[in-house]
Structure 1
């Protein structure tokens, strides 16, 4: 039963984790957003009371 031989599967596991831990974070951290967020104004809008027409 060749699937019980751990040597090729362990190498594949180690290599795939090396890819995930070395290359993927650098690509994610190098991502640049096309639109920079603009800060919202600190002034709160003036809200009034709701006048119900049937009261």
Structure 2
């Protein structure tokens, strides 16, 4: 049964993982998000206490 011969499939698997582990993470990590969460966190929001009239 030729589908059980690992020779062509192992090379394809290794080549695919080399692509996945080198090219794709560098592209994902180089992505810049349009909404910077640090800019929002830098602004102090003023909180108001509630005056409950019990």
Normalized against structure 1, the TM-score is what?
Answer: 0.71
Structure number, greater radius of gyration: 1
Listed as ranges, the matches of 1:1-55 within 5 Å are 1-37=1-37, 38=39, 39-41=42-44, 44-51=46-53
Normalized against structure 2, the TM-score is what?
Answer: 0.72
Runs of 4+ in 1 over 4 A off after TM superposition: none
Q: How many residues align?
A: 51
Q: Greater share of helix residues, 1 or 2?
A: 2
CA displacement at 1:48 relative to structure 2: 2.0
**Which consecutive unaligned segments of at least 5 residues does structure 2 have?**
none
